[in-house]
Chain A
């Protein structure tokens, strides 16, 4: 280590510390980039999420046909439906529709076979709770008659928007599969994201 090297090192130390301190001081003058979730936000995070975000499951009972397709599709059996044909009531009567959100792995397989888009994910993701029991979402309090799809336009103005939302939800799932004309032999043909997993 020569003498010149020694003093060059000293000078470099002084220069770099000086500039480093200037950089950090300039950072002290800037606005922090932290987003203070959840209570100091301009908008709810849920409102900023995409339409197909897989949050908590929800069932629109008004348009549920009681077909049990979702129950069968669920790979971990977290959906339990009790439905019986009842001639007096004139259709399928459902007495129970439970989804155990503690078990649910948010794969989205239940919402794909649903004919009306009744069962679907919401952007709601804040599912923390104090007990496992309260994570079992019970959608039916008393027996209800299942929805029967009609031909043509839905006449009931209360149900029509739900159905429209449901079909739009399903259409979004179908969309990636649209280039069916091009056969993709090796890739999963189902067109949904989770089929690849």
Chain B
């Protein structure tokens, strides 16, 4: 984006303004666009998508009354929350209580500064982009602890502490599973990471070698836990903690927490896509820059949103783990495995500094076989269900 603004300045568009001011205004504009158009739409509609998919997995219908198939449900929910009174409990620390949602939102929105949408669609191409993402997402912990403490409520406090413990713990396996990719690519720049991969699956980092493949699953698991998603959604264990750190929140502030929760899913998907799945790399379909940019955006969005779907699907599948299980999964399993994986990757990079195309081909075939095996298993369960209940099957999610 900087190149674009530089071009405008060179063309004499903002002759009256100093360069720094132009940059600041451009950043402000881009930030507003991303926040008000992209994040709101994606996080909002994800609430509807999640409820629909979840319902279908439960053999229910889900919200289907507002608009065609209920697509406007998230808008009405949002408007309802905007109409609600913004309450601050009498015993709460009012200033911290009011501030907390903004801190959480800030930690989440700041990641979009470096998350790319296409080869030309990125707000800031930072050399330490990956590090920046890991750093700013830590703000979420601060906000959650702030909310939990300021609410002056036992549930909120326990939930906030749980969330903080969980996020801080899972930062370690997440960081250790990013490390192999960084070792392989030799850069922390998200755009550079994507440029080093290609559009074809065998050019993606996930299939580059077995350790990258393992790192992919480790990272996704740790990222789910960092985003407080099932099966690691202990902070919002409704049956024990009411609603965790959002217990005392209402109206718009409540909405902010939910925006972050669902928006975070997209951030996880975008990070996975960037580091492992070739990002916006698309085959060259057109000589036009605009068309190619749209294609790249669609490719990136489809890949990232697929992982949003997977997170929703996991939520409908796996039960929530206990607190001690949560900690043992992290410290006894994820951390040692991720560490061993990172060391093995270091050795691999030392032995094969320029990669092994043959291994990549084998790994891609293995990944394909895994997907085929998975759908064979799905077909098996469908057949069994049909034999059991003579139920008619429809392959449309909007039947």
- Residues on A lying within 8 angstroms of B by beta carbon are 10, 17-34, 36
Question: Which one, B317, B385, B397, contacts A24 given CB within 8 A?
Answer: B317
Question: Which one, A20, A25, A30, contacts B393 given CB within 8 A?
Answer: A30
Indicate if B395 sits at the interface (CB-CB under 8 A): yes
- Bound Cα distance from A57 to B330, whole angstroms: 64
Q: B residues 64-105 with Cβ under 8 Å of A? A: none
Decide if A24 touches B57 in the complex (CB within 8 Å). yes
Question: Which one, A18, A24, A28, A30, contacts B391 given CB within 8 A?
Answer: A30
Decide if A18 touches B374 in the complex (CB within 8 Å). yes
Inter-chain contacts of B391 with A (CB < 8 A): 30-31
Inter-chain contacts of B378 with A (CB < 8 A): 22, 25-26, 29
Question: Which one, B55, B316, B374, contacts A22 given CB within 8 A?
Answer: B374
Decide if B313 touches A21 in the complex (CB within 8 Å). yes
Q: B residues 97-125 with Cβ under 8 Å of A? A: none
Inter-chain contacts of B392 with A (CB < 8 A): 31
- Bound Cα distance from A26 to B134, whole angstroms: 36
Inter-chain contacts of B374 with A (CB < 8 A): 18, 21-22, 25
Decide if B56 touches A32 in the complex (CB within 8 Å). yes
Question: Which one, A20, A31, A34, A36, contacts B317 given CB within 8 A?
Answer: A20
Decide if A27 touches B313 in the complex (CB within 8 Å). no
Decide if A32 touches B60 in the complex (CB within 8 Å). yes
Decide if A24 touches B313 in the complex (CB within 8 Å). yes
> Which residue on chain B has the smallest CB distance to residue A14?
B217
Q: B residues 368-394 with Cβ under 8 Å of A? A: 374, 377-382, 385, 391-394
Decide if A27 touches B318 in the complex (CB within 8 Å). no
- Bound Cα distance from A29 to B59, whole angstroms: 9
Decide if A22 touches B60 in the complex (CB within 8 Å). no
Question: Which one, A18, A25, A30, A34, contacts B385 given CB within 8 A?
Answer: A30
> Which residue on chain A has the smallest CB distance to residue B374?
A22
Inter-chain contacts of A32 with B (CB < 8 A): 55-56, 59-61, 399
- Bound Cα distance from A22 to B380, whole angstroms: 9
Inter-chain contacts of B317 with A (CB < 8 A): 17, 20-21, 23-24
Decide if A30 touches B59 in the complex (CB within 8 Å). yes
- Bound Cα distance from A34 to B318, whole angstroms: 23
Inter-chain contacts of A26 with B (CB < 8 A): 378-379, 381-382, 385
Indicate if B333 sits at the interface (CB-CB under 8 A): yes
Decide if A31 touches B399 in the complex (CB within 8 Å). yes
- A selection of 24 A-B contacts at a CB cut-off of 8 Å is A19-B377, A21-B313, A21-B314, A24-B57, A24-B317, A25-B378, A26-B382, A27-B56, A27-B57, A27-B59, A28-B53, A28-B57, A29-B378, A29-B382, A30-B59, A30-B391, A31-B394, A31-B399, A32-B56, A32-B60, A32-B61, A33-B59, A33-B60, A34-B60
